[in-house]
């Protein structure tokens, strides 16, 4: 998101088109420490949104590919700390859902192999 470096530049800011282009190019080429940090923030935003969607939909782990795509791409210590906290929270949510599903399955008599299913009764005839 180049606008993180370029910012929301309004016409009254008197920033030339050349300067806007220079800032966008800096982001695209990752040619400065600031551009690289902003790129990491963009990736954090992506996985935060993925995590939020998983929570809203109650489908932890469904958007794993977004998390996988960011592996090894964080370098700033503060960003790494934030991502580690998010992964820990997400892992807890995934464990809670897995535990709840296991609990429901073990409490469902239809899935209990020790209990035989009820046998159909033959029809009764009255004369």
Determine contact, residues 47/67, Cβ cutoff 8 Å: yes
Q: Enter the pTM of the model.
A: 0.68
pLDDT in tens, 2-15: 555 556 778 888 88
Determine contact, residues 40/74, Cβ cutoff 8 Å: yes
Determine contact, residues 6/23, Cβ cutoff 8 Å: yes
Looking from the CA of 72 toward its CB, the CA atoms found within 13 Å total 1
pLDDT in tens, 48-92: 999 999 999 999 999 999 999 999 999 999 999 999 999 999 999
Helix (H), strand (E) at residue 63: none
Tokens for 41? 């923030």
């Amino acid at each position: 998101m180049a606008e993180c470096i370029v910012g929301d530049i309004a016409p009254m800011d008197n920033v030339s088109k050349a300067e806007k282009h220079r800032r966008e190019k800096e982001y695209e080429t990752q040619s400065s420490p600031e551009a690289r940090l902003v790129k990491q923030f963009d990736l954090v935003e992506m996985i935060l949104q993925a995590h939020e969607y998983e929570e809203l939909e109650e489908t932890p782990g469904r958007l794993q590919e977004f998390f996988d795509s960011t592996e090894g791409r964080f370098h700033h210590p503060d960003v790494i700390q934030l991502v580690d906290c998010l992964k820990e929270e997400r892992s807890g949510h995934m464990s809670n859902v897995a535990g709840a599903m296991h609990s429901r399955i073990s409490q469902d008599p239809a899935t209990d192999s020790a209990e035989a299913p009820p046998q159909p009764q033959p029809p009764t005839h009255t004369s």
